[in-house]
Structure 1
Amino acid sequence: MIENGWPRTAAWIDGELRVGGVGVRELAAEFGTPAYILDEEEFHARCAQWRQALPDGEVHYGGKAFLCPEVVRWLDEAGLCLDVCTGGELAVAVAGGMDPARVVFHGNNKSLAELRRAVSWRVGCVVVDSFAEIERLAALADEAGVRQSVMIRVTPGVEAHTHEFIATGGEDSKFGFSLRAGLAAEAVRLVLAAPSLELSGLHSHIGSQITDLGGFTLAARRMADFLLAAEREHGVTIPKLDLGGGLGIVQRPGDPLPPRPAELVAAVREVLPAHVRLAVEPGRSIAGPTAVALYEVGTVKEIPGVNTYVSVDGGMSDNPRPAMYGAAYTAILASRSSQAPAREVTVVGKHCESGDVLVRDLPLPADVRPGDLLAVPASGAYQRSMASNYNHVTRPPVVAVRDGAARAIVRRETEEDLLRLYA
């Protein structure tokens, strides 16, 4: 078993990386590269870890991390609910067999069509994010003759120690209603005044890739205080507090170990009122460590005294995160063993951008050569879901591995798929 962010079945056997009992050379031969290799056993185990940590609460998997119909079926089997943030994610949830009543619908700018679909499909809860949305949703629910359950998204003014692009709990955010400015209190009044809406809880989310519980507990304390104040003011009971997701993962050696789900739950429960049901929305912490991105080396370009560039057959189209906000990864030579001394290289993609860099300052054997396979761990979250067709590159498949068997749960995109879109 390999540690530091690799799936639990990852092992180095006979000079080759194996995941789920399948060697990477066999996977590359059958499914091609680039490819995301997803350890099904790891995914199920991480779902179970969250379910066990919160048996009397709600665990909503954050679908934006990675979603496909097969994953929806796994979530259903594990007893997890699902959060989505677009009509497209909602459609995938339903296609995978998830009961819409177990879906929470997020988003800061849901369209009228998306809200109408949520109401007509009887989505379990809509997280309202603006005054305009409260008004629209109330009208749609009234028109349909139903009472729609909602949570109010609150920005608690907690700055998570993460990159500014994935920090969402501060005052200056496009998400939610400001606690400090009194907007959250006004949102509570508007929802309670709408006969077609039912206030089932409050929601906050402070950011992503967080490894310190301090931000979670501070947000929980502020949200609990606000919840109790709203209950006193209006003479109601608000039964649920959803603290979102954001728990980090190990992406490379030396990264801090994140708290375990049970530790997070224990920490925030200390500050919650006894009657409040806790909900969480883990995405990355479930999907992230489950997958390995597999690439083939195409060229090795050495600039004496400057750098050595190892170019692979993917790049920013299948992992935009390093270019977007400096996400740091590691990689290993996965298809063979080598006794050559290590040298630092830069692993880059095939796209027409100087910023198309996957891994910087990576020690690889000095004899790395075209045809070698490189494996990048912690690739299960926000890679396939954020993948693009930049330079008209087709998106890779997702291959689930378990007990020595492999199957594509998302097939490789083809050029025919791209051309089909053109008039």
Structure 2
Amino acid sequence: MEQIFFDNASTTRMKQETLDAMMPYFIEKYANPSSIHSMAKEPRAAVDNARATISKILNAEPNEIYFTSGGTESDNWALISGARMNSKKGKHVIISSIEHHAIIETAEYLEKEGFEITRLKVDKDGLVDPGELRSAIRPDTTLISVMMANNEIGTIEPIAEIGKIAKEDGILFHTDAVQAVGHIPIDVREMNIDLLSASGHKFGGPKGVGFLFMRKGIKLPPFIHGGAQENGKRAGTTNVPSIVGMGKALEISASNMKRNTEYLIKLRDHYIKRVEKEIPFSKLNGHRTKRLPGNANFSFKFVEGESLLMLLNMNGICVSTGSACASGSLDPSHVLLGIGLPHEIAHGSVRVTLSEENTMEEIDHAVDVLKSSLERLRSMSPLYEDYLKNNE
């Protein structure tokens, strides 16, 4: 049975061009770029080239890009070091209530260190209200972190407006842009971003590599110690092949962004239209238009998301659920609860995230399988049976 991959928010397939760019640095040009001998010259130049490529796409400068092991490390570095750096001025940090766990759990860690965390609520579409953000700012607020685009519901936040508010108040502003980089246009200058996290495998690069944009002038303390790599900011032997691959992948994504965006929106909107028209008791989660091009998250009443996911998987459709049950928690996603969904509806959510490699035929097949799977699950649901009896 052929499988259809609709889980591109979790990871993307690495393109052949990316792998081709990486290969020489595994076998032929394998020297450590931190060495001073002649063999280190080419690997060092390749890393510099990747840094320049990434910085140009974000309208940053090369010396503002610091390579890490991925988005989680970048988030931890930005939040922990950013908070500690200004702790003498104040220990109040603001985040949104629907951040990725790399921010949520790091904020909880900071609370144990004595920091106070304000978790901004979002509206029913998952948007942070800049006015509420402004009201939450206190004299001791030193750091704001709001994600650029939500990993579950796809909502794109008003980052430029939030960045302007932070700048006016002299507050450090970080955004987790893991889901956004390579998929939507980003200009760190226009958006007034001080710190930005990204992960290579979310836009066609390899896993285990990412970067932190750090605006020039911000002296963020190192998070990992033990060497002078990354201008003394991030110790560890430079991961040359992965850095090269990430740079190549972002170059490809940026050059094709306009075309891919138009195509993905066409696929996404077709999926949304068919689901809303043909499947009763379905609800689109996230903002209808201010959302990532390839994201469509639906809640389906009278079913459990995990059961639906398993049926779809048995039919070759690879998606993810908006519920955290699969990870051992009995609670549904904090994001879905954060936008106001009741527990029983949040539990019945499925996220579809597309790539430019998906087709309209795959969309139609997936909707057909989704319909039949929901009909099967609802036929076994006592809640659905009661609903039908009460509404005859």
Question: TM-score, normalising length from structure 1?
Answer: 0.29
Larger helix percent: 2
